[in-house]
Copies of this chain bind each other. A is one copy, B any other.
Amino acid sequence: MADTAYDVVGIGNAIVDVIAHAEDALLAELGLSKGVMTLIDSAEADRVYSKMGPGIECSGGSAGNTMAGIAALGGRGAYVGKVRDDQLGEVFRHDMRSIGVAFDTNAASDGPSTARCLVLVTADAQRTMQTFLGACVELGPEDIDTALIASAKVTYLEGYLWDQRRAKQAFIKAAEAAHAAGREVALSLSDPFCVDRHRADFLDLVAGHVDILFANESEIMSLYQTAAFDEALIAVRGHCRVAALTRGEKGSVVVAGDDVVVVGAEPVAKVVDTTGAGDLYAAGFLRGLTAGQDLATCARLGGLCAAEIISHYGARPEAPLADLARVALV
Contacts and interface: CB of A to CB of B under 8 A. Distances in A.
Contacts of A54: 58-59, 68, 94-96, 98-99, 316
A95 B99 CA distance: 28
Contacts of A264: none
Interface stretch (A84-92, A178-186, A193-201, A300-308): A84-92
A143 interface: no
Q: How many of these chains are in the complex?
A: 2
Interface stretch (A45-53, A145-153, A169-177, A269-277): A45-53
A245 B113 CA distance: 46
A114 B88 CA distance: 13
13 contacts: A54-B59, A54-B68, A54-B94, A54-B316, A55-B58, A55-B91, A55-B94, A56-B57, A56-B58, A57-B57, A57-B58, A86-B86, A87-B87
A99 B20 CA distance: 12
A18 B96 CA distance: 15
A56 B56 contact: yes
Interface string A278-311: 0000000000000000000000000000000000
Interface in A14-67: 18, 20, 49-50, 52-59
Nearest to A59: B54
A113 B88 CA distance: 13
A59 B52 CA distance: 14
Given A87-B88, A87-B113, A113-B87, A98 B52 contact: yes
The 5 closest A-B pairs by CB, nearest first: A54-B95, A57-B57, A87-B87, A56-B58, A53-B98
Interface residues of A, number: 25
Contact of A91 (B57, B94, B316): B57
Interface of A: 18, 20, 49-50, 52-59, 68, 86-88, 91, 94-96, 98-99, 113-114, 316
Given A55-B94, A56-B57, 12 more contacts: A18-B91, A20-B98, A49-B94, A50-B94, A52-B94, A52-B98, A53-B99, A54-B58, A54-B59, A54-B95, A54-B96, A57-B58
A18 B90 CA distance: 12
Nearest to A88: B87
A120 to B, nearest CB: 12
A112 to B, nearest CB: 12
A13 B48 CA distance: 27
Kindly name the residue among A54, A59, A95, A114 whose own CB sees the greatest number of chain B CB atoms within 10 A.
A54
Contacts of A114: 87
A59 B316 CA distance: 21
Contacts of A99: 53-54
Contacts of A96: 54
Nearest to A318: B21
